[in-house]
Amino acid sequence: MVHLKIILCSLTIGLASLSFGSEVPSSTSVAVSIDVPSPAWTIKISRIYKKANTLLVVCEARKKEGLAAAVMSKAKTSVNISRKFQKLPRKVYVTGQTWNYSEGYKVVTDEELAKLLITASEVYSSPKQLNEKSFIGLTLKEAQDLAKINKLQSRVIEIEGEPQGVTADYRPERLNFSIKNGKIIRVNKG
């Protein structure tokens, strides 16, 4: 995957407005939408900081593997944070990319971002990314459930050293599990 570094951009904010009876929601939604050069690009909010009564929203842009049409598209993402930050103004940072199609954000380098974050306190960090090692030692059901929750395709290619009948198509994001004694012992993609 091609990783784009973090960019500052204006952010569209969706506030959690549901209420159940007299309950007040404990979280608010922070949403970001930026223009990207093709639908192969996605964005993810990786961290949010508070600095001088402003929220600094740090996004990571990624390009999926494979071919995609060069058609201007929107990449969107959102996360929930504590409601106490609801009224703070927000700035969004995305670094390492060269295009600047949307209004309201500023491209910065890692060094510039590090300087901007001095004295900032982190209020949100995205969950750790899964990789092949995340599945080692799990039962097949646990591994398949974890893959499904994270919207990843998976299949079993080997059980107790015996190859299983599988298709020969290559899918770069699909997880291939090898099982021994009821546990995942090896994972590769393809």
Q: Say yes or no: 84 and 110 in one domain.
A: yes
Do 76 and 165 lie in one domain? The reply is no
Structure tokens at 170: 């290559």
Q: What is the rounded CA–CA span in Å between residue 185 and residue 169? A: 23
CATH of the domain at 165: 3.30.10.10
The 10s digit of each residue's pLDDT in 29-50 is: 899 888 888 898 888 888 899 9
Residue-level pLDDT at 98:
65
Q: How far apart are CA 31 and CA 44, in angstroms?
A: 10
Q: What is the pLDDT of residues 92-126, one digit of tens each?
A: 888 767 676 767 676 777 888 899 999 999 998 88
Domain count, the chain: 2
Mean pLDDT of 158-165: 91
Q: Which of 125, 155, 171 is the last residue of a domain?
A: 125
Q: Are residues 121 and 183 both part of a single domain?
A: no
pLDDT band for position 24 (cuts 50, 70, 90): low
Q: Reply yes or no on whether the pLDDT at 7 is more than 70.
A: no
User: Tens digits of per-residue pLDDT, 136-155?
Assistant: 888 998 888 888 877 788 89
pLDDT digits (tens, 9 = 90+) for 49-89: 999 999 999 888 888 888 888 898 888 989 889 999 989 99
Whole-angstrom distance, CA of residue 107 vs CA of residue 113: 10
Q: pLDDT band at residue 11, thresholds of 50, 70 and 90? A: very low
Can you give 48-65 as a three-state secondary structure string? EEEECCEEEEEEEEEECC
Same structural domain, 94 and 119: yes
Q: State the residue range of the domain holding 57.
A: 2-125
Average pLDDT of the chain is 80
pLDDT of residue 96: 60
What is the enclosing helix (H) or strand (E) of 113? helix 110-116
Distance CA 73, CA 45 (A): 18
Same structural domain for residues 32 and 101? yes
Same domain, residue pair 56 and 141? no
